[in-house]
Amino acid sequence: MTQDAAASTPHLHVMDHPLVDHKLAILRARETPSHVFRQTLQELSWLMAHPTFAALKTETAQIDTPLEAMDVRRMASPFPCLVSILRAGNGLIDGFSQICPEASIGHLGLYRDHETMKPVAYYSSLPGDIEIRQVILGDPMLATGGSAIMAVDTLRDKGVSDIVFACLVAAPEGVAALHGSYPDVPIITAALDRELNDSCYILPGLGDAGDRIYGTE
Ligand code: PRP
Ligand code: URA
């Protein structure tokens, strides 16, 4: 799938905002040091929370202001669960949890095998009642889509129906793969890039997200 074709994928939301582009430019630049990368990713995750949480379930409740009673809209219980695909997903999910501290946090440990480029699962920790929660699944990179699909497989096996996937940079190949397996899972991304290279890295991309966050290059 080309970048243009991917752009018209239903349920794909590509952010279009000067601050998002500015922060993404910092993340993409080769010379950006790890500590600046982490700080900028945190700031970008706050901006991404806006479209990512847009479909959050709410309820109406009556509260008293100091002056009178009023009906307010607030997050419905049970609160959502933020699920990080380790390890790079923590960069996004930490920021989301600062915006929405009531949410519980789950972790799915996956890494891409360097030979096969297929995801390998090594860890899982999710709330016991995750099937009744909305889930926001975060990973900065949607490349082949293998890791995101494996994470959604795991959540669906646990009975989760309501999942939003948030990433910083998506490749057309990853959008096609995730949408092909799970057309009902919305994808929120800060950018839709051109293509994958022969090593399944996103072009132009930002390199290896985990290494750039944690300085492990
Ligand atoms: C990166 C990234 C995604 C995955 C995307 O993780 O954070 O999880 O690759 O690639 P895919 O769409 O082709 O599956 P990586 O395997 O490098 O692990 P890390 O986060 O521990 O560095
Ligand atoms: N994982 C990354 O961290 N970066 C890519 O470009 C592709 C997969």
For 48-99, the pLDDT digits (tens) are: 999 999 999 999 999 999 999 999 999 999 999 999 999 999 999 999 999 9
Q: Which amino acid is at 78?
A: P
Distance separating alpha carbons of residues 172 and 14, to the nearest angstrom: 12
For residue 105, report the phi and psi dihedrals to the nearest 5 degrees.
Answer: -130, 130
Contact between residue 32 and residue 26 where contact means Cβ atoms under 8 Å apart: yes
Are 195 and 172 spatial neighbours (Cβ–Cβ below 8 Å)? Answer: yes
* Catalytic residue selected from 112, 139, 154, 193: 112
Instruction: Indicate which residue's Cα is closest to atom 1 of ligand 1.
Output: 141
58: its two tokens:
């709410």
Element holding 134 (H helix, E strand): none
Domain ranges within the chain, ordered by starting residue: 3-54+80-214
Taking the CA of residue 212 as reference, the ligand 2 atom at the shortest distance is 3
Ligand 1 centroid from CA 165, angstroms: 14
pTM for the predicted model, two decimal places = 0.96
The answer to whether the beta carbons of residues 100 and 92 sit under 8 Å apart is no
Length of the chain: 217
Evaluate: CB of 133 within 6 angstroms of ligand 1. Answer: no
C-alpha separations of 157 from 31, 136, 152, 154 in Å: 41, 16, 8, 5
pLDDT band at 24 (very low <50, low <70, confident <90, very high): very high
Active site residue 208: yes
Question: Which atom of ligand 1 is closest in space to residue 146's alpha carbon?
Answer: 14
- Ligand 2 within 6 A of CB of 201: yes
CATH of range 3-54+80-214; options 3.40.640.10, 3.40.190.10, 3.40.30.10, 3.40.50.2020:
3.40.50.2020
pLDDT, tens only, 101-127: 999 999 999 999 989 999 999 999 999
